[in-house]
């Protein structure tokens, strides 16, 4: 296969080496926009450098400056032919530009130079002395050669240091110890992160992806709204050659193993896995080409799919199927060689329909049909972008995007009450309900965003500046199914319930009812401005200086701001030192501050109207009955205590729900690294990272501290009942809040010292050392391997919680009460101290290729969650049930119950590209988790029930690694 070989002829081996290394499927990025690339290097002063796109015919010319340097900026990804009027002989160089990557090409007129043709299919990260960042660009061409799931998160997990997040949050990656909700995702420069809770983003059909740029920290001021990582996706585009193709990927259920069942010590089933089934079929068709040669290009892709799953539990199963197509359309209009307009339109609307059945306990025996339902996620996205290279040294880009992400669920049985039987240590669905909630079909998140970026090269300085604005509208209206929820529970006589009532003597079972209604439309506005300078201080030293300013404005359903954080200044600094002066080794480092936007989940959870009422009743199995249709109890016993109001349905005054001096979540980060070429094909990198969380937004649900402050300051008329149920603040900091201090209906502003709340400051520290070894594609094989040692510790994971599965970003149980924070400092859920990865491929001959992907990681820390002691200093913390670090009344600090064991995974793939099909046809077979390892990834960490009885499922497995499965694929491509 000739396209897998390098054909290089050049008098200067060093120049050839770094040219080739710059062209790889993995590349180190220059600090620039990720949607375009550049070509730069040295040449004869005064010479003219001409660059012509081999894909679209566009031409650009620049002059070499008086120091012998040149740079061609804002180049769309693709192949370029480079001509140099100052070199001797007939020079014709072909290079490949990747998005976000500066491709180095040194043109020394004193050397005899022949034609260079570089068609390498893989190369190492170059030692890029013109960048202070560490960035990986993973091209789709690489993913095609590896046994890897075809999605963005799996691509990100190929890079060193990234860790698979908890399955509760879906298939997401954790970067640098941050929670999975703290990443930011872009498609062609447009932010597609779902800001509701940070754990969703627009899903692009992977066949339409050209490359994925992954920044695991240390990024410049151009990027923000992330304390984790940056994942920037660039789509494919049309060229002057008409190209067509189709492919299909099939994972049959017959070749998918199942995870083992989980059993209680007495032999009863806790989790039923052995009969679960899943199958996936994706098929794609695409076309691309020039509507007008050298001017107007299109790329269009359609993806069909059939995704089916069947997961059994105690007494129920809900087979699901998704068939909604996905698609992408890309239009590129080169108005002139220096002016370009792009339009991207894509849909990722995914409607999954399911049917709920009743089963005979833990079995596949279906005993009846409950109903049907559906979940709809994703939607339509439109992105327009204009780029103008006004001069050789000055360029401008402007973009506008619209994206909608549906959050709609629907189900039959929405009139049936939500009923759960939680007696005996297990949970079972009762009645005719299908979905626990009845959300509005209008629930969605809509983003409108605009952005302008400027770039100016002035002598030794490369300046960039820009601004962006986005408005997000979140619609969230939700009731419980049937308007009420019922939960059968075991209780202990004398135990105190959340409403403060004691369980009567002789009562061992009860029923809790709950009415929960929330809803509204909420708007948020985020703005940012940045300026940065890459300053070539000396020939060997590059300095980076940047600053970013951000504003976050979250509003309630009346359009009034309840959090507005202005002037969030984020400085960024960096250095790159060319150690030997020949680009063979560099020392680099960055220091910066990074802010995270305020999730809109907070808007409706804290600032919206919410009714949440609970009651408890005696349930006597001897005299009470359960309706066989609805599951609702009949002949209930007496009520235990009064109604407990989590929220009373009255929207709070927006001034009262948040501290007026609140700051968004932000962290500081320091990176130091070293890179060196070991040989012409081997490179080694070492990087150390330190991250420290400086501030966190969380809600606290307590009034006693404010009441003590009022009493200490002589406000004798103050009533704690005037406070909202929960208040947003920065834990551990003084909080300026509005209070009805005299109980007369007038709000006045007061600063409450931090010690009155009794909360510690939010702490999260992450330290890591990362070693990466890579071999460029040569001698028919390619390899990348890495080892990361890390330590993540503190008292908060971040916006979401892995250890209890909470997805309420900024609204978890952490910091709700002082008692819940006792023992909270320790090793955090994303602490995996040892992580090893390796992937690569070998061409066995001209038709067969073998690829692999392997990882091995240490398990995360384990906890013991129980009910806060009744005689503790914060008795109201007991009302949260088993949510504290006390077990059996004894404090057991975070991470003190050992670790989940190591997990390992090996995937293998075999590809066949027959010569008789002119290399246009490829067959593949991939086996994931070849040895069908069943390593535990999660365990039950709740040791007690809410009534303080031992939880029989404590420390039992909750999730295993994905079992062995097989994927078959076929691809066919041709051009005209």
pLDDT digits 0-9 by tens, 122-140: 444 567 787 898 778 888 9
Report helix, strand and coil shares of the chain as percent, to nearest 5: 10, 50, 40
Which has more confidence, 22 or 228? Answer: 228
Q: Which residues have C-beta within 8 Å of that of residue 487, sequence separation ≥ 6?
A: 419, 420, 421, 422, 511, 512, 513, 514
pLDDT, tens digit, for every residue of 451-496? 999 999 998 999 999 999 999 999 999 999 999 999 999 999 999 9
Residue 730 has pLDDT above 80, yes or no: yes
pLDDT for res 651: 82
pLDDT for res 89: 47
Please give the Cα distance from 454 to 459 (Å, whole number). Answer: 16
Calculate mean pLDDT across residues 630-655.
89
> What is the DSSP annotation of 202-247?
----GGGEEEEEEE-S---TT--S-SS-EEEEEE----SS-EEEEE
pLDDT for res 24: 36
pLDDT for res 2: 36
pLDDT, tens digit, for every residue of 871-888? 999 999 998 999 999 998
Helix (H) or strand (E) holding 708, with range, is helix 704-712
Instruction: Report pTM.
Output: 0.88
pLDDT, tens digit, for every residue of 577-612? 999 988 889 999 999 999 999 999 999 888 888 889
316 close to 359: Cβ distance less than 8 angstroms? yes
pLDDT for res 95: 82
What are the distances in angstroms from CA 922 to CA 287, 777, 778, 782? Answer: 18, 20, 22, 19
Residue 308 has pLDDT above 50, yes or no: yes
Residue 30 has pLDDT above 60, yes or no: no
Average pLDDT, the chain: 90
pLDDT for res 75: 85
Lowest mean pLDDT among 58-67, 87-96, 352-361, 879-888: 87-96
Residue 73 has pLDDT above 90, yes or no: no
Q: Predicted confidence band at 111 (pLDDT cuts at 50, 70, 90)?
A: very low
DSSP 710: H
Q: Per the structure block, which two tokens stand in for 726?
A: 């929960």
pLDDT for res 6: 35
Q: What b-and-e string marks burial along 405-440, b requiring 16 or more CB atoms within 10 Å of the CB?
A: bbbbbbbbbbebbbbbbebebbebbbbbbbbebbbb
Q: Predicted confidence band at 112 (pLDDT cuts at 50, 70, 90)?
A: very low
Residue 46 has pLDDT above 50, yes or no: yes
pLDDT for res 108: 63
Calculate mean pLDDT across residues 300-329.
94
pLDDT, tens digit, for every residue of 140-164? 988 999 999 999 999 999 999 999 9
Domains of the chain are 2-123 (2.60.40.1120), 137-235 (2.170.130.10), 243-369+397-702+757-975 (2.40.170.20), 703-756 (no CATH)
Q: Predicted confidence band at 642 (pLDDT cuts at 50, 70, 90)?
A: very high
Calculate mean pLDDT across residues 418-445.
90
């Amino acid at each position: 296969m000739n396209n897998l070989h390098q054909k290089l002829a050049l008098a200067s081996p060093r120049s050839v080496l770094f040219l080739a290394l710059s062209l790889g499927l993995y590349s180190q990025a220059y600090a620039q926009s990720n949607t375009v690339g550049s070509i730069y290097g040295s040449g004869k002063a005064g010479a003219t450098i001409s660059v012509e796109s081999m894909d679209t015919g566009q031409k650009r010319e620049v002059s070499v400056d008086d120091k012998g340097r040149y740079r061609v900026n804002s180049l769309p990804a693709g192949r370029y032919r480079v001509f140099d009027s100052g070199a001797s002989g007939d020079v014709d160089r072909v290079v490949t530009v990747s998005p976000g990557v500066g491709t180095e090409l040194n043109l020394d007129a004193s050397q005899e130079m022949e034609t260079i043709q570089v068609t390498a299919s893989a190369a190492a990260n170059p030692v890029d002395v013109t960048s202070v960042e560490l960035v990986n660009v993973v091209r789709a061409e690489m993913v095609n050669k590896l046994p890897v799931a075809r999605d963005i998160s799996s691509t990100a997990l190929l890079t060193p240091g990234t860790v698979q997040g908890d399955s509760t949050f879906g298939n997401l990656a954790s970067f640098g110890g941050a929670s999975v909700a703290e990443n930011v995702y872009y498609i062609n420069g447009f932010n597609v992160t779902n800001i509701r809770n940070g754990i969703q983003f627009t899903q692009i059909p992977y066949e339409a992806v050209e490359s994925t740029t992954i920044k695991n920290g240390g990024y410049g001021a151009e990027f923000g709204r992330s304390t984790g990582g940056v994942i920037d996706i660039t789509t494919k585009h049309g060229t002057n050659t008409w190209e067509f193709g189709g492919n299909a990927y099939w994972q049959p259920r017959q070749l998918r193993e199942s995870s083992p069942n989980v059993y209680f010590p007495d032999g009863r089933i806790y989790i039923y896995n052995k009969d679960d089934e899943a199958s996936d079929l994706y098929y794609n068709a695409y076309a691309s080409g020039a509507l007008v040669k050298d001017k107007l290009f299109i790329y269009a892709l359609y993806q069909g799919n059939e995704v089916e799953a069947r997961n059994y539990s105690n007494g129920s199963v809900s087979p699901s199927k998704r068939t909604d197509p996905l698609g992408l359309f890309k239009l590129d209009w080169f108005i002139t060689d220096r002016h370009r307009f792009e339009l991207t339109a894509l849909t990722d609307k995914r409607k999954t329909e399911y049917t709920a059945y009743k089963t005979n306990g833990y079995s596949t025996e279906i005993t009846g049909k409950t109903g049907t339902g559906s979940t709809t996620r994703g939607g339509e996205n439109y992105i327009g972008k204009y780029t103008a290279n006004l001069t050789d040294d000055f360029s401008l880009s402007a973009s506008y995007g619209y994206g909608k992400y549906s959050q709609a669920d629907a189900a039959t049985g929405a009139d049936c009450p939500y009923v759960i039987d939680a007696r005996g240590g297990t949970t079972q669905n009762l009645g005719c309900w299908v979905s626990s909630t009845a959300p509005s079909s209008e629930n969605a998140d809509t983003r409108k965003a605009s952005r302008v970026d400027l770039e100016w090269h002035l002598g030794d300085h490369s300046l960039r500046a820009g601004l962006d604005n986005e408005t997000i509208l979140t619609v969230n209206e939700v009731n419980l199914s049937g308007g009420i929820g019922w939960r059968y529970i075991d209780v202990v006589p004398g135990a105190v319930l959340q409403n403060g009532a004691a369980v009567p003597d002789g009562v061992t079972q009860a029923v809790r009812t709950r009415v929960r209604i929330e809803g509204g439309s909420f708007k948020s506005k985020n703005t940012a401005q940045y300026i940065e300078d890459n300053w070539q201080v000396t020939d060997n030293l590059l300095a980076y200086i940047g600053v970013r300013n951000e504003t976050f404005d979250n509003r309630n359903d009346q359009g009034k701001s309840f959090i507005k954080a202005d002037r969030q200044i984020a400085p960024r600094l960096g250095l790159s030192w060319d150690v030997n002066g020949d680009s063979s080794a560099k020392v680099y480092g960055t220091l910066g501050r990074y802010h995270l936007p305020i999730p809109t989940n907070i808007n409706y959870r804290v600032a919206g109207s919410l009714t949440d009422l609970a009651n408890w009743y005696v349930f006597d199995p001897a005299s009470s009955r359960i309706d066989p249709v609805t599951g609702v109890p009949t002949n209930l016993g007496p009520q235990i205590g009064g109604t407990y109001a989590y929220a009373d349905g009255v929207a709070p005054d927006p001034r009262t729900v948040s501290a007026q001096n609140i700051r968004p979540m932000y962290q500081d980060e320091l990176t130091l690294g070293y890179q060196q070429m070991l040989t012409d094909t081997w490179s080694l990198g070492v990087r150390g990272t330190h991250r420290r969380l400086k501030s966190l937004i969380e809600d606290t649900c307590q009034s006693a501290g404010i009441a003590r402050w009022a009493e200490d300051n002589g406000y004798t008329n103050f009533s704690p009942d005037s406070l909202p149920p929960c208040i947003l603040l920065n834990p551990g900091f003084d909080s300026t809040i509005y209070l009805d201090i005299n109980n007369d209906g007038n709000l006045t502003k007061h600063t409450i010292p931090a010690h009155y709340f009794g909360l510690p400051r939010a702490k999260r520290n992450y330290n890591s050392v990362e070693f990466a070894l890579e071999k460029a594609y040569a001698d028919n094989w390619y390899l990348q391997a890495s080892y990361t040692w890390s330590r993540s510790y503190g008292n908060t994971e971040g916006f979401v919680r892995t250890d209890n599965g909470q997805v309420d970003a900024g609204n978890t149980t952490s910091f709700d009460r002082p008692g819940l924070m006792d023992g909270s400092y320790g090793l955090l859920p994303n602490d995996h101290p040892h992580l090893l990865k390796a992937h690569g491929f070998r061409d066995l001959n001209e038709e067969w290729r073998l690829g692999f992907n392997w990882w091995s990681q240490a398990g995360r820390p384990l906890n013991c969650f129980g009910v806060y002691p009744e005689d503790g200093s914060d008795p109201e913390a007991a009302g949260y049930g088993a949510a504290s670090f006390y077990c059996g009344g004894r404090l057991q600090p975070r991470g003190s119950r050992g670790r989940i064991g190591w997990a390992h995974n090996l995937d293998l793939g075999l590809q066949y590209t027959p010569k008789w099909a002119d290399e246009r046809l490829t067959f593949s077979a991939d086996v994931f988790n070849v040895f069908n390892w069943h390593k535990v990834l999660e365990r039950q960490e709740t040791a007690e029930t809410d009534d303080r009885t031992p939880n029989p499922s404590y420390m039992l497995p909750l999730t295993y690694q994905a079992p062995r499965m097989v994927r078959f694929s076929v691809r066919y491509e041709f051009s005209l």
